[in-house]
Chains A and B, each alone.
Chain A
């Protein structure tokens, strides 16, 4: 059995966001900080009490009861104050209403979903949406968020404070969007979850456990949307499928030293087949209906990557998915990946012509791609491009990978 010291951080991660969401929904978003304070206080009280009296039989129920008591005290105080003020000002006699804090499973899920819609709002910048999601919906500490963003506590604190202020000023409600709005609002929520996952998957942070946690939290929040009938849309399933396929390579893509292992060099026995199966399940769910979003296309591409086979069919399918993806939404990374798939499907000569048109001359990945395409076609050009890539690369991991390719080419040339 876990002691209080081990249990509390664990419970904080899972229960803090539930308590905060429920309280904030009953107080209104304008009092979000009070909700956060009460949730934090509850854990402080747990640490003190459990340290002396031992861990209670049902720790979660204990936390909920304590949170309810604190919330009730707060409301009582607040009511006395506002009643006094209103009587003094207007001589009116408003009834003191004691709102019941409902910490049932259904209300917790609803509150978390509604909080998700409140936070993932285009009113605030996307980094702020992710930061607030991590804080309020995932119970991450400010330090962890700072670590994930390669930033510092002060910056993150300021960012979250400003974001909350902005949402308050705009009178954001913790509520489900109306049926006519839901698709549009859901789009913003999915973008945030997508970026939250990517933050963990592609982050330069050395903290591997934290990075994995970011991905798992994005998946958990995505799953909340699937569990609810109104938000269980094809795009939501497609995004979870995409995350499952990527997450299946968690163990294979980073070695014991924390270094990235390239896809080609990964040990496929470390790929999580259970997650791949789950991804396939959600991708099939996402295929119901006519909706074809970028998440469907990206999940399709990710699905092809769950098999390491090098068939013509595979690369032709990936190429066509990238063609569609780019028409839906341009991104430099997709353009580069599409050109790689083009070389696999249509040959390097065709791909070189297309690559030269991309003009992504500030990206080391662009020159790394040209270096790959020119390898065995024109090795001098290949080396030249790889050296440009090396000069442009910023991260140590990228530099090492590119330097390896340059050395390999130079050594191969010598032997010829």
Chain B
């Protein structure tokens, strides 16, 4: 098993305010997808950043949030153990972000020193 990182990106939601039912549906899709990965013993950790935040640029330029100039924002990342890049890609195909026009970047994880 090798470790892979999946990075989820999507366009920001703008002014769209989902209903509680919509939120619940999306949460269930993600929970079931993660649960399915974990049931194969392939889940290896992950995190979801909060919407607020700062971006630091050269010359000590600090801007609010990551959204200003980007079409896509980082929604979160997950680490998985998979047999191969192909296997990891197969898993990524079930990601709920694909249902709403987002994308998943799948990258093998190499150590900091390699």
Q: State the A residues within 8 Å of B (CB).
A: 316, 319-320, 322-324, 326-327, 330, 334-335, 338-339, 342, 346, 354, 357-359
Contacts and interface: CB of A to CB of B under 8 A. Distances in A.
Interface of B: 28, 31-32, 34-36, 38-41, 43
23 contacts: A319-B32, A320-B31, A322-B35, A323-B34, A323-B38, A324-B35, A326-B38, A326-B43, A327-B34, A327-B35, A327-B38, A330-B39, A330-B43, A335-B38, A335-B39, A338-B39, A339-B39, A342-B35, A346-B32, A354-B36, A358-B39, A358-B40, A359-B40
Given A335-B41, A358-B40, A326 B32 contact: no
Nearest to A359: B40
- Overall SS of chain A's interface: helix
A354 B38 CA distance: 11
A281 B28 CA distance: 29
Contacts of A358: 39-40
A326 B40 CA distance: 9
Nearest to B35: A323
A335 B40 contact: yes
A316 B29 CA distance: 12
A330 B35 contact: no
Contacts of A354: 36, 39
Contact of A323 (B31, B40, B41): B31
Contacts of B40: 335, 357-359
B60 to A, nearest CB: 36
B86 to A, nearest CB: 14
B43 A357 contact: no
B43 A327 contact: yes
A334 B32 CA distance: 14
- Of A316, A354, A359, most buried by chain B (CB within 10 Å of CB) is A354
